[in-house]
Chains A and B, each alone.
Chain A
Amino acid sequence: MLQRLTIAERQLALAISIAVILAGLLMAAAGSGDPMGPHGAIVMFAGAIVFLAVLRVIQDPEPLEDRAENYYDDPTRVGLLISLGWAVIGMGMGVWVAAQLAWPDLRFDAAWSSFGRIRPVHTSGVIFGFGGNALIATSFHVMQRTSRARLAGHVAPWFVLLGFNLFCVIAASGYLMGVTQSKEYAEPEWYADLWLVVVWVIYFVLYIRTLARRNEPHIYVANWYYLAFILVVAVLHIVNNLAVPASFAGAKSYSAFAGVQDAMTQWWYGHNAVAFFLTAGFLGMLYYFLPKRAERPIYSYRLSILSFWGITFFYIWAGSHHLHYTALPQWVQTLGMTFSVMLLVPSWASAGNALMTLNGAWHKVRDDATLRFMMVAAVFYGLSTFEGSFMAVRAVNSLSHYTDWTVGHVHAGAMGWVALITFGSIYAVVPTLWQRETMYSWKLVEWHFWLALAGTVIYVFAMWNSGITQGLMWRTYTESGTLTYSFTDTLVAMHPYYVARAAGGALFLAGAILAAINVYLTIRNVPQKRTEGDYPTPSEATEPAVPVAE
């Protein structure tokens, strides 16, 4: 695989790996006695693996391949496999934390296994590990195909992919050691954050450079979304993680923001992590793989424009709906709430555009579980965006806030939308990427679909019940005007739903394991067959810049 790099590229990779090893050495030495020390060792280890892998091929001859003839898919393939690995780890941790809530003894009395430490391993594992790797991998795939151009660079995509995973490993191992900034979805400490900035800027440059060399006059919608994802996540990440390290020799920093400004910055970040990481990027996936699989034109280009700008413009304002009825000034809450409601229409326009695209292909949705994954994902996207706008209304939020309803809402989006579109895309892209005839087993895909759907529905219904019960119990007063239920009473009421949630999560995890097995067997056992026309070609004709109206 690495023989496909030129000797100069191999030398560059070697130099980078040496720099990483040295950085790790510095961290390990400076941070000894602090969690930064073990992190230094992890960085050194990661650098050493790359160093040895490149060293093995450094003497090999220059590659003979004509790069203009092929897309560069090695990083995509590796990225998809890593993504599946994280799916199993992240969802496995999810089932464990869910089980801990139902049966607290499953902590086994260790510090590292306490709920507060393994919960972020679950959230980061699925969002960044599973989702992030899938986004990076599919973005490499999609931008090459829709630009009819090879990736601009061969070391950069590896740097982005492996660098991002180093960030994920530092994050997850840090949580287990108790390292956290206590900011949801932004838990990793300052050195991990700085590293991610480097990785992300290179990702952005790589994307722009590849687009710049495209052989298509127009940029396809999927790329708008991927680009919005990369650009806005960079802005969010940098601003929310502005912090002053307590010491350069330790994993502890203090946020640049304090009090309610800190809360507002965090939820501006948190909500837009949902918007631009978990929505925009995956809409990019949807816009490529759904029409490709359905073999239908996108229902409406105009609707694509409307929903893209609607989503990118309105989402940025919505974060303050996470802080209703708090110390946050009411006018900020008003803006968050009204923009969340206005956001609903463009969101539904996206979901509708996807579903209308399936007109003329519904028989394929019936027969093909891969396409069905994508269809159900679009439905869940519509459901959870409606639910989100609804919960952003202050009066609704007064019941739903701090309850399991929020958890159910997030999982309707994360499982029903994000994970299903990702699995659908993986099943669609794996045969193309590995040049196989088909997936190893369509039956397994079918099984996965029903396991995932059942798991999601059980999970979401359990949390709706639990959350609304909880919210109502909290606000029930006796005739005397005092609280009817103690907090413990609500826990007792929630217990059956917690058991159901763990069971739903276990079904979902089982599906993910089937996916990993199926992909493995496809790569190993299915005969080769190259997808037709899967190589860069110059655009066949020039096109008018502005489409003529009907």
Chain B
Amino acid sequence: MSVKERDPLTGHQTTGHEWNGITELNTRVPRAIWFFIIVTHVWALFYWVLMPAWPTVNTYTKGLLGVDQRQQVEARVAAADAKRSSWSDPITSLTLDEVRSDPTLMAHVQRTAPALFGDNCAACHGAQAQGGPGYPSLVDQAWLWGADDETVLETLRVGINAPHPESRFSQMMAFGRDGLLDREQIRIAADYVQSLSRPAEEINADRLAAGATLFEENCASCHGEDGTGSQDLGAPDLTDEHWIYGGDEKSIFNTIFHGRQGWMPAWEQRLSETERRILTIYLGQLKETHHDD
């Protein structure tokens, strides 16, 4: 079909080719297309002149505006830091109690803390700091290493069982796995441990006495004679209602059999001192609010 036909609908000629029934019109490129090609190209040209754009042999064209993304971001970060320093400096230099008594500073703490906690702590300790299996609650009264300002600040700084050189260290041995106790002994010890927080439950007196002996020989060095634990060693209180890994018989058995070693990152490199102080104040508030409920 070499004859160029005229399409009756548009009045345009075809190119004269045909491919399995398909033909093409030889319509001119609409003016709008040329217009927008010119607009976009001229815009690009301007952009190239003004901004870093084309590589040369050893460097690149810097652009008339002298813009550099690195300098820009550094300047903006510095400006934001400077703006925050009006309140972040006092939070770092004053004592936490002094901060607590200053309503202006506390307003900054209130605004900043929730996102800080959400981004750094909530993944393990829960959105409401309520903890979960394997992760301690931060709103109860049972604190492994102590809940006073200095201790919490230090725990945040160095972490627990973290690679930080000054990290807090605490490990419960795997009594079953490492063959220190057999399964029956572990069951007896577990019953005894459970009885510490639930004295009302009926357990055979002989079994209880055997459990007490096992406890004294294996557990008391960390958890104390009476099982109330030690904040110096990070050993939990076994007589209260709070359990990190579960207080039912099976969980206690597993804990004694396999041992436990919780892990919390050291935040010294990741969070500034101001941020760790804000979090410490915030945790104290969370605990109080929760206690009031």
Chain A interface residues (CB < 8 Å from chain B): 145-146, 148, 216-218, 220-221, 288, 291-292, 295-304, 306, 325, 329-331, 333-335, 337-339, 341-342, 344-345, 348-349, 352, 359-360, 478-489, 533, 540-544, 547-550
Contact = CB atoms under 8 A, between A and B. Distances in A.
A300 B53 CA distance: 35
B27 A483 contact: no
Given A331-B60, A480-B111, A544-B2, A297 B22 contact: yes
A216 B24 CA distance: 14
Given A303-B29, A331-B61, A359-B9, A298 B24 contact: yes
Contacts of A221: 24
B21 A292 contact: yes
17 contacts: A145-B20, A295-B21, A299-B27, A300-B28, A300-B29, A302-B26, A335-B53, A335-B54, A342-B41, A352-B30, A352-B33, A482-B84, A483-B112, A483-B119, A486-B116, A489-B115, A550-B13
B2 A543 contact: yes
Contacts of A533: 20-21
B87 interface: yes
Nearest to A326: B69
A338 B27 contact: no
Contact of A334 (B15, B40, B51, B114): B51
A146 B20 CA distance: 6
B80 interface: yes
B210 interface: no
Given A349-B29, A480-B87, A483-B116, 6 more contacts: A296-B9, A303-B30, A329-B52, A341-B40, A344-B36, A543-B2
B289 interface: no
A325 B27 CA distance: 43
A485 B60 CA distance: 39
A69 B284 CA distance: 87
B37 interface: yes
A220 B26 CA distance: 14
B22 A291 contact: yes
Given A145-B19, A220-B19, A335-B53, A330 B27 contact: no
Given A325-B69, A342-B40, A550 B122 contact: no
Contacts of B2: 541-544
Nearest to A337: B47
Contacts of B60: 329, 331
Given A145-B19, A331-B55, A345-B37, A486 B9 contact: no
A288 B22 contact: yes
B108 interface: yes
Contacts of A344: 36, 40
Contact of B10 (A145, A218, A359): A359
Chain B interface helix/strand/loop/mixed: mixed
A144 to B, nearest CB: 9
B152 to A, nearest CB: 20
* Most chain B CB inside 10 Å of its own CB: which residue of A216, A297, A335, A345: A297
B20 A345 contact: no
A301 B16 CA distance: 11
B220 interface: no
B4 interface: yes
Given A299-B25, A301-B26, A341-B43, A331 B53 contact: yes
A349 B4 contact: no
A218 to B, nearest CB: 5
B246 to A, nearest CB: 19
Nearest to B275: A482
B23 A297 contact: yes
A483 B51 contact: no
A481 B80 CA distance: 7
B17 interface: yes
A543 B47 CA distance: 46
Contacts of A479: 111
Interface string B42-73: 01100110011111000011000001110001
B118 A488 contact: yes
B76 to A, nearest CB: 11
A388 to B, nearest CB: 14
Nearest to B87: A480
Given A292-B22, A550-B12, A341 B61 contact: no
B31 interface: no
B94 interface: no
Contacts of B33: 303, 306, 345, 348-349, 352
Given A359-B9, A550-B13, A298 B112 contact: no
Contact of A486 (B40, B87, B107, B117): B117
B1 A486 contact: no
Nearest to B40: A342
B83 interface: yes
B42 to A, nearest CB: 10
Contacts of A299: 10, 25, 27
Contacts of A292: 20-22
B48 A338 contact: yes
Nearest to A310: B37
Interface string B61-103: 1000001110001000000100110010000000000000000
Contact of B111 (A291, A301, A482): A482
A378 to B, nearest CB: 16
B29 A483 contact: no
B209 interface: no
Given A306-B33, A331-B60, A486-B115, A543 B54 contact: no
B7 interface: yes
A148 B20 CA distance: 8
A301 B15 contact: yes
* Most chain A CB inside 10 Å of its own CB: which residue of B27, B55, B127: B27
B14 interface: yes
Nearest to A485: B115
A146 B24 contact: no
A302 B26 CA distance: 6
B37 A550 contact: no
A484 to B, nearest CB: 6
B114 A486 contact: yes
B220 to A, nearest CB: 38
A301 B24 contact: yes
B49 to A, nearest CB: 11
Given A300-B27, A302-B28, A218 B122 contact: no
A425 to B, nearest CB: 14
Task: Please provide the 10 A-B residue pairs with the shortest distance between their CB atoms, ordered closest to farther.
Answer: A486-B118, A300-B27, A338-B44, A478-B111, A301-B24, A482-B112, A331-B52, A297-B23, A547-B15, A298-B24
B114 to A, nearest CB: 7
A330 B87 CA distance: 35
B120 to A, nearest CB: 9
Contacts of A541: 1-2
Nearest to A307: B33
Contacts of B54: 331, 335
